[in-house]
């Protein structure tokens, strides 16, 4: 199986690097400057789960050709249109896309472009970033990638991917209900991103305030209610785990959206918070915490554009 990964940043570079270590045929589609850096230094990963410096195969837009069985998409939601344009030349009649974006709205766009039969479901669980010197820095000890079929006919390629990646130094999960897994993460991430951005700090700091725990759980409840209305309610065991993580005293956990905001960058607020709020409103559900969190991020975007 030949695999193309769009980008070699925190997510794509980390997961792709671990697949390369396991002998999987992986090519990275990168910009010229990133290609030059990798050619000089290799793909470098810094992680408590094992450092690595790897020689990897890269292509740039002008050298990209078809012939890939699986294309892994790790772009941010706000770059989805340009990401689709970038990978289009690599997509043959049988190529399949595995998107690792957050939320659900990207599926509709990808389905319209390539056909639903060629778009798998996927979820990445990792905190990683690309440093200024080109090193991929793994920020926690979680490196889980869940993937699965959205249609029965996709099971064959999912099984093939699971087979070739068995030796990878990753927590790889071939999910039997990937759509539910995607909804579960969306619920959690919307609560985490909404609150850590709204309060401009990590979970532990929020938990030291008088109303922090109550407000965090209220937002989580609103997000879960939307999933329930859409027919994808998280299981109680899942919610129990989320409540524990989001109210853990002393935790330094925060969403990457907070890092993006603090650095003055673009964010996925529309895709993660806005899309969920739109569904709440369609179902006529009250979601004051979600609306406040999204309005806060909209205000940030307006000010960012103005300044």
Q: Which residues are catalytic?
A: 185
Q: How far apart are CA 165 and CA 155, in angstroms?
A: 15
Question: Residue 288, SS3?
Answer: helix
Q: Which residue is it, tokens 């093939």?
A: 160
Q: How far apart are CA 220 and CA 82, in angstroms?
A: 32
Q: What is the rounded radius of gyration, in angstroms, for the C-alpha atoms of the chain?
A: 19
Q: How far apart are CA 197 and CA 261, in angstroms?
A: 7
Q: Which residue is it, tokens 């929020």?
A: 206
Distance, CA of 33 to chain centre: 24
Q: How far apart are CA 259 and CA 129, in angstroms?
A: 10
H helix intervals, the chain: 10-21, 32-41, 80-87, 105-114, 155-164, 178-198, 203-207, 212-229, 236-246, 256-262, 269, 275-282, 288-306
Question: Residue 19, SS3?
Answer: helix
Residue 123 is encoded by which pair of tokens?
């979820």
Q: How far apart are CA 251 and CA 206, in angstroms?
A: 9
Q: How far apart are CA 184 and CA 85, in angstroms?
A: 29
DSSP 96-108: EEEE--SSSHHHH
Burial status of residue 141 (CB atoms within 10 A of its CB: 0-12, 13-18, 19 or more):
exposed
């Amino acid at each position: 199986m030949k695999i193309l990964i769009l980008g070699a940043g925190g997510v794509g570079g980390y997961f792709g690097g671990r697949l390369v270590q396991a002998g999987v045929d992986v090519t990275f589609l990168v910009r010229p400057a990133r290609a030059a850096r990798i050619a000089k230094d290799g793909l470098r990963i810094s992680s408590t789960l094992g450092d690595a410096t790897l020689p990897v195969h890269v292509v740039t837009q002008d050298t990209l050709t078809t012939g890939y069985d699986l294309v892994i998409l790790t772009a941010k939601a706000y770059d989805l249109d340009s990401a689709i344009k970038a990978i289009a030349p690599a997509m043959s009649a049988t190529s399949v896309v595995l998107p690792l974006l957050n939320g659900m709205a990207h599926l509709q766009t990808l389905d319209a472009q390539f056909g639903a039969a060629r778009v798998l479901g996927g979820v990445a669980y990792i905190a990683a970033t690309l440093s200024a010197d080109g090193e991929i820095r793994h920020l926690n000890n979680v490196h889980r990638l869940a993937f699965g079929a959205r249609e029965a006919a996709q099971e064959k390629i999912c099984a093939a991917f699971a087979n070739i990646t068995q030796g990878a130094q990753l927590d790889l999960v071939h999910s039997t209900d990937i759509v539910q897994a995607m909804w579960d993460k969306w619920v959690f991430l919307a609560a985490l991103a909404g609150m850590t951005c709204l309060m401009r700090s990590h979970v532990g700091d929020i938990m030291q305030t008088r109303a922090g725990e109550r407000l965090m759980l209220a937002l989580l409840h609103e997000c879960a209610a939307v999933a329930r209305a859409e027919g994808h309610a998280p299981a109680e065991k899942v919610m129990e785990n989320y409540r524990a993580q989001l109210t853990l005293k002393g935790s330094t956990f925060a969403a990457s959206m907070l890092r993006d905001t603090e650095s003055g960058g673009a964010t996925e607020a529309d895709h993660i918070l806005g899309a969920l709020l739109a569904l709440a409103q369609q179902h006529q559900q009250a979601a004051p915490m979600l609306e406040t969190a999204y309005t806060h991020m909209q205000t940030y975007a307006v000010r960012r554009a103005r300044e």
